[in-house]
């Protein structure tokens, strides 16, 4: 967890070199999911897209991570949290989020190879705009920083996050839970594309058609849609045992059917789970 904990620690004290050092070469950052990914590759001037991302979204803001729950499994960590962003003395927002860190070993250390921040852009913007003139000033400053550090292509790439699976994804995630709890394999199969996959838990993939439904029941809360993915806080109850985790429901573009469902639910020791990052 040290690598994952290092991100909010570096952000809190605005330590850009420390934050950048957490990422592997060619690491991918999707923040939010649905926006154009930022890849940790330096250009001819020695500048990294992650460095420009930091200057745009982190450097001028005060950011606090309010973590409710962490899940560690198969070389990945998912944080169920809210992020509080203070943009000025008068403007702040609180953003519900599921934050996925995929990890790898590089140079003898665990580093982040992919960071996927699942949060909803539209509700965040509505929060930001409720402060009147102060909101307008923050918006202008944010736009200028984005233009300065990322250019028009960066603005367009970030704006892609406006297009999401939305309530359709949330409804289908609820439909998955209903079919799972009733053990209705036919209804469950109808939600998937022909090549749909299930990871129960993450790291143990099989085709949806080959998946044997586990015993027990699911309950979901905090459904968020970002890009073509809906995420949910999930509770799995099997007898006396209850486990909390996060589920990711990824949809195709054409028919809005499930391409992949991943359940991040701890099944063993954290140290063993992180060891698989190598």
**Per-residue pLDDT band at 93 (split at 50, 70, 90):** very high
Mean pLDDT across 231-260: 95
Mean pLDDT of the chain: 92
Mean pLDDT across 107-116: 94
The domain segmentation of the chain, as residue ranges, is 2-162, 166-269
Per CATH, the number for 166-269 is 3.10.450.50
- Percent of the chain that is helix, strand, coil (3-state, to 5): 35, 40, 25
The two tokens of residue 127 are 């929060």
For 109, the 3-state DSSP assignment is strand
pTM: 0.92
pLDDT score at 267: 56
State the architecture of 2-162 in CATH terms. Answer: Roll (3.10)
**One fold for both 2-162 and 166-269?**
yes
With 70 as the cut, is the pLDDT of residue 270 above it?
no
In the 3-class helix/strand/coil scheme, how is 21-85 assigned residue by residue? Answer: CCEEEEEEEECCECECCEECCCCCCCCCHHHHHHHHHCCCCEEEEEEEEEEEECCEEEEEEEEEE
pLDDT digit string (tens) for 13-30? Answer: 999 999 999 999 999 999
């Amino acid at each position: 967890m040290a690598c994952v904990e290092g991100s909010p620690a570096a952000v809190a004290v605005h330590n850009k070199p420390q934050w950048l050092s957490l990422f592997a070469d060619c690491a991918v950052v999707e923040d939010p999911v649905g926006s154009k990914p930022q890849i940790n590759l330096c250009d001819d001037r020695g500048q990294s897209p992650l460095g420009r991302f930091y200057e745009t979204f982190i450097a001028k803001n005060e950011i606090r991570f309010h973590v409710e729950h962490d899940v560690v499994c198969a070389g990945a960590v998912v944080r169920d949290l809210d992020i509080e962003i203070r943009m000025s003395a008068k403007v702040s927002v609180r953003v519900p989020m599921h934050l996925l860190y995929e990890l790898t070993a590089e140079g003898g250390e665990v580093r982040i190879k992919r960071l996927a921040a699942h949060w909803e852009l539209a509700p965040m913007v509505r929060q930001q705009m409720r402060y009147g003139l102060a909101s307008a000033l923050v918006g202008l400053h944010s736009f200028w920083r984005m233009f300065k550090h990322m250019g028009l292509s960066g603005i367009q790439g970030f704006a892609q996050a406006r297009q999401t699976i939305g309530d359709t994804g949330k409804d289908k995630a609820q439909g998955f839970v209903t079919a799972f709890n009733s053990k209705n394999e036919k209804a469950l199969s109808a939600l998937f594309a022909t090549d749909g996959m299930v990871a129960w838990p993450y790291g143990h993939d099989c085709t949806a058609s080959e998946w044997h439904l586990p015993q027990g029941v699911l309950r979901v809360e905090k459904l968020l849609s970002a890009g073509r993915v809906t995420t949910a806080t999930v509770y799995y109850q099997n007898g006396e045992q209850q486990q909390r985790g996060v589920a990711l429901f990824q949809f195709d573009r054409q028919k809005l059917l499930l391409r992949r469902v991943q359940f991040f639910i701890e099944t063993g020791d954290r140290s063993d789970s992180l060891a698989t990052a190598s």
